[in-house]
Amino acid sequence: MKLIIVKDQQEGAKKAFEIFQEAINNGAKVLGLATGSTPLPLYKEMRESDLDFSELVSVNLDEYVGLEGTDPNSYRQFMEENLFQAKPFKASYVPDGKNPNAEEVLAEYDRILEEHPLDVQLLGLGVNGHIGFNEPGTPFDKTTHKVNLTDETIESNKRFFDKEEDVPRYAYTMGPKSIMAAKQVVLLAFGESKADAVKGMVEGPVTEDLPASVLQNHPDTTVIVDEAAASKLTRSK
C-alpha cells in the first residue's frame, strides 16, 4: 500500500488526476468510479482537462436502492452532473437502483464487471472504514451485493438529503472481491473524521470489521490522504 500525504484535498485531487492520466496513457480502458464529496475536486480536474474518455468505459461502485437514475440524490445523477455530461464515456455503468429485483441487478453488474475488468478503481472511505457501500462485517469474498446501510452511514450521508427519512436504507454495491480484482486502486480520504478509518486501513489488522483494510492485500493500491486524515498514523510513507 503506497501512502501519499498531501496538504489538502486540492493537492490530493491533483495527485490522483496524475495517476489516472498515467494509467490512461498506459492503456487503461475501464475506470471504476466513486461518489461522495471526496472525489469532487478530482472530477473537476478531469472536467477541465483535455483527457478524452470517449473510448473508455466507467463502472461505478454503488447506488442507492429505490432512487430513479434521474433523482438528484442518485449516484447516477451525481456522476452525470460531476463528470459524464462534460466528459462522456463510451459506456457508463451504475447499478440500477430503481430495479427492486436485487438478484437481477447483482447478476447483471457482475456480468458487466466480467466483461469490463477494472483497470483503475477510485475509492473514497466511509467514517467506519467502508469502501463503496461495503459496511463493516461484509465478507471479503462478496461480489456485487445488496446492503442494509448502517445507522452511521445514514447519519453521515443525510447531509445530501432534505431529511434523514429520505436517505435510502439499502444500496447495491460492488463487493470487496470486485474491488480487489481491479488492477490498480486509488483511495482518497480527507479530513479528521476519516483519521480512525485511515489508521485501521493502513496500520490495523486486515479484518472484515474494517472493510478498507482488505486493500493491504492488494498489489497496487495508492492511498492519498491529507494531514488531518493521516493524523493518527504512525507511519508517514
Residues near ligand GLP (CB under 6 A) are 34-38, 61-62, 124-126, 132-133, 153, 157
Three-state SS for 140-179 is: CCCCCEEEECCHHHHHHHHHHCCCHHHCCCEEEECCHHHH
Residues 6 or more apart whose CB falls under 8 angstroms from that of 117 comprise 30, 181, 182, 183
Q: Which is nearer to ligand GLP, 144 or 157 (CB)?
A: 157
C-alpha–C-alpha distance, residues 124 and 3, integer Å: 14
Shorter beta-carbon distance to ligand GLP: residue 55 or 211: 211
Least Å distance between CB 104 and ligand GLP?
21
Cβ at position 24, least distance to ligand GLP in Å:
22
Known catalytic residue at 218: no
C-beta of 124 vs 200, nearer to ligand GLP: 124
Choose between 140 and 160: whose C-beta lies nearer to ligand GLP.
160
Give the distance, in angstroms, between the CA of residue 57 and the centroid of all CA atoms in the same chain: 16
Neighbours of 166 (CB within 10 A): 11
**Residue with Cβ nearer ligand GLP (37 or 148):** 37
Active site annotation includes 11: no
Question: What is the nearest approach in angstroms of ligand GLP to the Cβ of residue 226?
Answer: 12
233 by DSSP, 3-state: which? Answer: coil
Rounded least distance, CB 87 to ligand GLP, Å: 20
Which among 62, 63, 119, 226 is annotated as catalytic? 62
Which member of 119, 130, 157, 226 is catalytic? 130
Identify the burial level of 63 via C-beta atoms within 10 angstroms of its C-beta, where 0-12 means exposed, 13-18 middle and 19 or more buried. Answer: buried
Please state the closest distance from residue 27 (CB atom) to ligand GLP, in A.
Answer: 26
- The one catalytic residue in 82, 135, 145, 157 is 135
Active-site residue flag, 62: yes
Tell me, yes or no, if 119 is annotated catalytic: no
Strands (E), 28-182: 30-33, 57-60, 62-64, 91-93, 120-123, 145-148, 170-173
Q: Residue 118: which of 180, 35, 45 has the closest Cα?
A: 180
Please give the positions annotated as active site.
Answer: 62, 128, 130, 135
